[in-house]
Amino acid sequence: MSKKKPNKRWLHEQNSDFYVKQARNENYRSRAIYKLQEIDQKDKLIKPGMCVVDLGAAPGGWSQYAIQQVGQNGQVFALDLLDMEPIMRVNFIQGDFTENEVEQRLLSEIKQERVDLVISDMAPNLTGIRDTDQARSMALAELVLDFCHKVLKPGGDLLLKVFEGAGTQEFRQELGEHFSKIMTRKPYASRDKSREFYVLARFYGL
């Protein structure tokens, strides 16, 4: 009897379930953690003692991972529109990153600390109108880049979620003016059907 090859969609759905189950088994709050983990394992982004800012952090998978990796001497500042269950040693701020007052609160928490890595998994609330959603996503990305100018150490890195579409190429070029290496990452845990991908910009100001 010949075995039927499983189709891609079936495999993918199995895969998604796999990440959900794994997150549950490993006490992570979201399957999103495996996206960061995969990128980190490949690119060696997060090291002990680092200061990391996690934008769009709830429910907290990336922050859980980041605080484990930076260890006792590191720091993680997390921000989200939504409330987030506390994570030990993660400094959380609730608010809308697009509001100046919220960004100021975050900056004052960070104090004079220079940041090694900014990670942003933020996505705007979707309207379903593709052009509008894309424009909002790019506007958010620009705000994150502005924030990097305020906090990143020379040599610091940025990992940012974007959606393939108008403006992404120009945005990558803009990043290239400030970071010495720009890469694209589509981790295995990111659903194929999603237009999301991650831009990894390394070595700020070098």
Rule CB under 6 A: choose which of 60, 74, 156, 187 binds ligand SAM. Answer: 60
Rule CB under 6 A: choose which of 13, 17, 26, 96 binds ligand SAM. Answer: 96
**Can you name the residues that pair with 131 across neighbouring β-strands?**
none
Span interacting with ligand SAM, options 69-77, 91-99, 105-113, 181-189, rule CB under 6 A: 91-99
Residues 6+ apart with CB under 8 A from 206: 154, 155, 180
- Residue 79 Cβ vs ligand SAM, minimum distance, rounded to whole Å: 6
Using CB under 6 A as the binding rule, whether residue 32 contacts ligand SAM is answered as: yes
Using CB under 6 A as the binding rule, whether residue 34 contacts ligand SAM is answered as: no
Using CB under 6 A as the binding rule, whether residue 74 contacts ligand SAM is answered as: no
d(CA 8, CA 115): 40
| Residues, the chain | 206
Amino acid at residue number 12: H
Using CB under 6 A as the binding rule, whether residue 29 contacts ligand SAM is answered as: yes
Using CB under 6 A as the binding rule, whether residue 135 contacts ligand SAM is answered as: no
Using CB under 6 A as the binding rule, whether residue 30 contacts ligand SAM is answered as: yes
Catalytic residues: 161
Residues 99-128 that bind ligand SAM (CB under 6 A): 121-124
Place of tokens 């991972």: 65
Rule CB under 6 A: choose which of 19, 34, 92, 97 binds ligand SAM. Answer: 97
Interface residues toward ligand SAM, by CB under 6 A: 29-30, 32-33, 56-62, 79-82, 96-98, 121-124
